[in-house]
Structure 1
Amino acid sequence: MEDRHFINYSNIFLNMKVSEDTICDLGIPEHCLLYVYSGQVDFREDNHSIIVSAGECAFIRKGHRIKMTKYSDKNTQVYQSILLNFPRKFLLEYYRHQGKDKFPETARRSKTSILKIPSRPDVTSLFESIFPYFSSSDTPDKEWLDMKLKEGLYVVLKSNANVYASLFDFTEPWKIDLMGFMEENYMYDLSMEELATYTGRSLTGFKNDFRKVSELTPQKWIIRRRLETAHELIAKQHYKVSEAMMNVGFKNLSHFSRIYKEAYGLAPSAGR
């Protein structure tokens, strides 16, 4: 009977098994970076074998299935690996903060789905800093976990500039639900062009698709959604007006007060 042990810290996973060799056929829903701590992994792609040994890692592109065989360490009979998932929202945030001009225009999407990354000091230091948490009663905080995901992203991008074309491809293959994206991002200052890009559409396609799901223009929908949340924060959660305004993305207090009064018939301060 195989003994598996998984620990999940918000997109950072530890997989440990004490067993015979294991063959897996897995779908890959998110881009990820897998580091082998002990044992070995043999990936199969188009009849080619990519072996990742202890101290090495591999970037695995999303949107396909892979076959992999996990081998336990010959001495300890233990296989251990750490997996970093790069969710779409994390990549969008990174892309937005870095700016499009920071990414190489010459990057081209690789035909292979797996990029092996040999042992390097930055690889070793990243995963050696993560591993102790899996045997500790302490739980890492979100800021620390986000920092480790960014370090992992740095490891991947440093290894091959062409990976930019896969990680930050927000075009049609990544086309996502409009209203789901808007609900998660209405508080940010995003232009119409950015909203279109992040949802995998042209500007015209974004506007046309938005008309199918809302009677409002995107700009008016964002203002109304911000007002709804601000009203909730002020009236029910007793936020200060300035705090509520900033939380939902408004920057100008007089403008916020005016449109709030137009929507709810009273000043924001009275709403408390």
Structure 2
Amino acid sequence: MENTIPENIPNEKFTLLLVDDNEEILDFLADELSEKYTVITAANAAAALGLLETHTVHLIISDIMMPGMDGLEFCDRVKSDFNLSHVPIILLTAKNTLQAKIEGLDAGADAYIEKPFSPEHLNAQVASLLTNRVKIKDYFAKSPLAHIKTMAHTRVDEQFLEQLQQTIEDNLANTLLDVEFLAHRLNMSRPTLYRKIKSISDLSPNEMINLTRLKKAAELISIGNHHMNEIAETVGYNSLTQFGRNFQRQFEMTPSDYVKKINS
């Protein structure tokens, strides 16, 4: 399979953070990637962490051997941070031993590239990681029974998504269920909740709430023990017509078509 960004996904939406203490390598990486992506750079891990506080970054490429905080510690810091754990990381290293690769993966790296490497290889790896993330998000949104954990790439994200889904499902009939309600229940600020949900799923909190309603409905439909109007009411819809319209818009089939699909 060719590792390219799908035509319907504009490259300019992706921002890459490049981290390396070698200025020549940093310039080389930036030159190779800036044609397709927005690129920001940092000469060390501490500076990179500072940039991550002020920029929305979709992928990080970091050298391992750096003075002060090395790439492994930097990777571990990112993957342990609730606000950053979803960001994929490619580690670059001159070490080609199996132990070095294991250390990189243990730190949470999503990919590991040995120096020297070809620009084509690097571009293919970047495109693959970004494209796969987009495909996973789309699969979750369009598949009625796809579990929310399919979007989790770290244990931190998995725990957050499970808690988010459970909170929404426990309050489907609550008319107060909105962003403010979720933020309060999850003990998070509204901006933090918005950023986390958006970064993992490309959905706003309200879109996530609505999608969770529809997925719960799909689950109840698949069980087959409920009338459609009961299902609609259970997941928070007062109008069966509106429920059917939203279900079709989300999953590209009516509830009745979904019943036929399950039965077949």
TM-score, normalised to structure 2, is 0.33
Which structure's residues are more often helix, by fraction? 2
TM-score, normalised to structure 1, is 0.32
Which structure's residues are more often strand, by fraction? 1
